[in-house]
Amino acid sequence: PGASDWGPWENLERCGDAETPDPIDRTLEDVVPKPVDVSTTDAEFEITAETAIVVDDEAEAVGESLADLLRSPTGYDLPLEEAPSDATDVIELAVGDRTDHLGEEGYELAVDEDGVTIEAATDAGLFWGVQSLRQVLPAAVEADTEQSAEWTVPGGEIVDYPRFDFRGAHLDVARHFRTADEMKQFVDYLAQYKINHVHIHLTDDQGWRLEIEEWPELTDVGGQYQVDGECEDCYYTQAEYADIVEHAEDRFITVIPEIDMPGHTNAALASVCELNCDDECEDPYTGIEVGFSSLCVDQEFTYEWIEDVVAEVAELTPGPYFHIGGDEADPLSDDEYEYFMDRAVPIVQDAGKRPMGWHEILGADPPTETIGQFWAPDSTASGVDVPGAVEEGHEIIASPASHAYLDMKYHWETELGLTWAGTTSVRESYEWDPGSYIDGVDESSIVGPEAALWSETLETFADVEFMLFPRIASIAELGWTPDADTEWEDFRERVAGHGPRWDRQGINYYRSDQIDWP
């Protein structure tokens, strides 16, 4: 629909006019990320008090999550039932091999007058299909109290699957802490846009955010500060962290923990005095400079401590990856840096995890299973031979700072954010191709894109939301949608319709003037 179709209706709805019929101003084409294949019909389905959710065994958990979403705003029972598939007035969710060809995360969604059917080869695919369904219901579905609306689903079919298996978002909880509840909220936002990895930057110069039982000093000291000052008990207990991991898992999102080393370690150096070459603790740091700290690379104690930390974090994190940072270790010579990585990377492997690091790590010639996260603001990474590393077999995550660093200001007057990589408008966050962006690196070596949200200037969770939305929708779409189907004009129209959905969720999004919001 054009922008003019949206405005008046939404306004009436917001004024609380309960009698206003909800015109069917939505189609299956409104979904973000844009699905691979969509066909639309006039055969709408209306969810009513009689509607049931039909599930097979494997679909039950996803069915529950759909029911959870729908029950409050609709006020309907929406019982979960096992029933023959010819039942009418149902939303049917099924896991089966008919859709095997769509891959692990693909799904088919079909809507006609009798109901909605979502089928997938796995429960993950089914869950992504449910996110698409969510986006084509009235925005009122995002409310958590009963709403008066016609719960109409537009007719047609979607056949969909992702371009990249890996679609990530990173959040820095070290510079400014985010509570476990906020972290879970962040995960909920990612799930709506089919992002399947959340990378948590748990440690940096300003803070240490995860309880390590063997080294309580890390949080006794490092967990009490953040940028600009003190922060009481600003860390996750192991139980809280496990809860975040489980919350993510329930949404088919894998947690990637990052313990940044050997640089970005002032919080550790201020907490465990023996980590310093002279055994003297550093002072806590609450500024926003980078590149000044390093672990002491030529003492055994450093590696024993790393083993303890890595073992506990790996044990708490079921996913296959462990990110050890490796960025901006400026105090070290190249030889020292290489020596450090020669010791540290195998510790991660011995803990059963696949190592990841910022792209500098590739310069240390680590084992080829090590994934490099490309963050340079241009298509080359000066000082590191990324194409050479790829030639040797390394894989790459694409997070170029000029497009995927969501802490960059939208424009020069944006109050929040940094500008070292320039500014990044919504359009700039969208107009790049993760598969071909990096000079000399082929799409076959790209694991996928990851948005990175650093938090030096982000004091509140509302600040996080402001930098995240709408740009997270861009990165999500670049990770999911075939490159040939990613067009700015089309994207900006679809994203416009998400504004009211974000309003209902209370999200403090940036109302970019590049988008005609309803």
In terms of CB distance, is 105 or 205 closer to ligand TNX?
205
Contact 392, 416 (CB under 8 A): no
258: contact with ligand TNX by CB under 6 A: no
Q: How many residues does the chain have?
A: 518
Q: Are 105 and 122 in contact (CB under 8 A)?
A: yes
Contacting residues for 413 by C-beta, under 8 A, at least 6 apart: none
Maximum Cα–Cα distance across the chain: 74
Instruction: Report, in Å, the least distance between residue 181 CB and ligand TNX.
Output: 23
Binding flag, residue 236, ligand TNX (CB under 6 A): no
Q: Is the peptide bond before 500 cis (omega within 30 degrees of 0)?
A: no
Least spacing, CB of residue 317 vs ligand TNX, in Å: 20
Is the preceding peptide bond at 518 cis, omega within 30 degrees of 0? Answer: no
* One character per residue 439-468, x = contact with ligand TNX (rule: CB under 6 A): ---------------x-x------------
Region 280-299 residues binding ligand TNX, contact defined as CB under 6 A = 290
Structure tokens at 323: 């990110």
Site string for ligand TNX, 144-183 (x = CB under 6 A): ----------------------------------------
Check if the beta carbon of residue 376 is closer than 8 Å to that of residue 404.
no
Q: Is 120 helix (H, G, I), strand (E, B) or coil?
A: strand
Assess 358 for contact with ligand TNX (CB under 6 A): yes
Element containing residue 308 per DSSP (H, E):
helix 300-316
What track of x and - describes contact with ligand TNX for positions 415 through 444 (by CB under 6 A)?
Answer: ---x--------------------------
CB 108 within 8 A of CB 118: yes
Closer CB to ligand TNX, 137 or 234, in the complex = 234
Q: Does 407 bind ligand TNX (CB under 6 A)?
A: yes
Residue type, 399: S
Rounding to the nearest 10 degrees, give the CA dihedral for residues 362, 327, 426, 440.
-20
Name the catalytic one among 240, 328, 336, 338: 328
Answer whether 292's CB lies under 8 Å from 327's CB: no
Whole-number minimum distance, CB 409 to ligand TNX, in Å? 11
Q: Which is nearer to ligand TNX, 149 or 475 (CB)?
A: 475
Q: Residue 199 forms beta bridges with which residues?
A: 170, 256
Choosing from 6, 215, 405, 432, the residue that interacts with ligand TNX (CB under 6 A) is 405
Nearest to ligand TNX of 123, 328 (CB atom): 328
Residue selected from 375, 437, 510, 517 as contacting ligand TNX according to rule CB under 6 A:
375
**Residue 127 is a binding residue for ligand TNX (CB under 6 A):** no
Query: Could you say which of 44, 243, 328, 493 contacts ligand TNX (CB under 6 A)?
Result: 328
| Residue 415: active-site member | no
Minimum CB distance to ligand TNX, residue 49 (Å):
50
Q: Which residues of 265-290 are buried (b: 16+ CB within 10 A; e: fewer)?
A: bbbbbbbbeebbeeeebbebbbeeeb
CA nearest to 194, candidates 477, 497, 413, 389: 477
> Which residues in this chain contact ligand TNX in the complex, by CB under 6 A?
290, 327-328, 358, 375, 405, 407, 418, 454, 456
Write out the catalytic residue numbers: 328
